[in-house]
Amino acid sequence: MKQRTLILLKPDCMERRLAGTVLARFEQKGFRIVGMKLMQVTPEIASKHYAEHVEKPFFPNLLGYITSDPVTAICLEGRDVVNVVRKMVGTTKGYLAEPGTIRGDFSISGQKNLVHASDSPESAEREIAIFFRPEELVTWKSCDDAFLLSESEREEA
Ligand code: CMP
């Protein structure tokens, strides 16, 4: 199976009507959407998803932010998707992120940084299971697959 990652279009992304713009970048790069839903993050889901940050001083702020408005949870699939998406998203703080990255182009905040993306294949597996039941993920192939990768690359990926 090709690699998968979890994307969250965070409340600021939804409020600013940037969901389509951000999602378009991932689609145009060549990744496939295998799961997607608009949802309200509860404190319970947030505490699971951000387990590594629960003890951090900024966690109450982070909890308020991520539960403030809906998010769009997306499971993306494709070759090396975890690493490639992290590069496309840019470094955590929007004001430090490189122009050309999503945060670098659209965010000047350390917290309101528009997008979450899993930081490793192991995190992706854990996070996808928090946001999606197995039957909510769809296995499919898009017809442009043959144009995105060479034949030998498709065999390796
Ligand atoms: P992300 O890296 O996707 O996951 C953790 C989130 O916590 C991060 O995005 C920010 O939205 C938020 N965050 C990280 N550091 C801080 C901080 N110092 N103050 C407030 N929020 C933060």
Q: Which residues are catalytic?
A: 116
The protein residue whose alpha carbon is closest to atom 11 in ligand 1 is 111
Distance 41 CA to ligand 1 centre (A): 16
Confidence of residue 1 (pLDDT cuts 50, 70, 90): low
**Other CB atoms within 10 A of residue 157 CB:** 14
Q: Is 109 in the pocket of ligand 1 (CB under 6 A)?
A: no
**Mean per-residue pLDDT, 141-145:** 87
Q: Is 110 in the pocket of ligand 1 (CB under 6 A)?
A: yes
- How do residues 78-123 score in pLDDT, each as one tens digit? 999 999 999 999 999 999 999 999 999 999 999 999 999 999 999 9
- How do residues 8-50 score in pLDDT, each as one tens digit? 999 999 999 999 999 999 999 999 999 999 999 999 999 999 9
Q: Specify the pLDDT at position 131.
A: 98
CA 11 vs CA 36, 71, 83, 108: distances in Å? 15, 5, 23, 15
Q: Is 64 in the pocket of ligand 1 (CB under 6 A)?
A: no
Pick the CATH number of 2-156 from 3.30.470.20, 1.10.274.30, 3.30.70.141, 3.40.50.150: 3.30.70.141
Taking the C-alpha atoms of residue 27 and residue 23, their distance in angstroms, rounded to an integer, is 6
Ligand 1 pocket mutation, candidates 13, 58, 126, criterion most atoms within 8 A of CB: 58
Q: Specify the pLDDT at position 13.
A: 98
